[in-house]
């Protein structure tokens, strides 16, 4: 247990990962307790963002392939 605490104190990336994971878990639990539809809207927003990113990656790959820059 002391090794885990020591590792958390020293490694900034691990600490950031733990904070982000706990924030996501807190958001999901809080939204389920407060308003379950909030979780649905957050999921729709995340899927929309992922779709826009996928389209952007496809356009970037197409331009990179066509112009060979």
pTM: 0.58
Angle (CA) 38-56-16 rounded to 5° is: 55
pLDDT over 90 (residue 68):
no
pLDDT at 31: 83
The tens digit of pLDDT for each residue in 24-52 reads 889 888 888 888 888 888 889 999 999 99
Alpha helices in 1-69 (DSSP H): 2-10, 12-34, 36-67
């Amino acid at each position: 247990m002391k090794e885990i605490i020591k590792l958390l104190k020293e490694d900034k990336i691990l600490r950031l990962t733990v904070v982000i994971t706990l924030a996501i878990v807190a958001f999901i639990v809080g939204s389920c307790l407060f308003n379950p539809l909030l979780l649905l809207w957050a999921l729709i927003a995340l899927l929309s963002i992922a779709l826009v990113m996928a389209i952007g990656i496809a356009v970037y790959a197409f331009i990179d392939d066509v112009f060979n820059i």
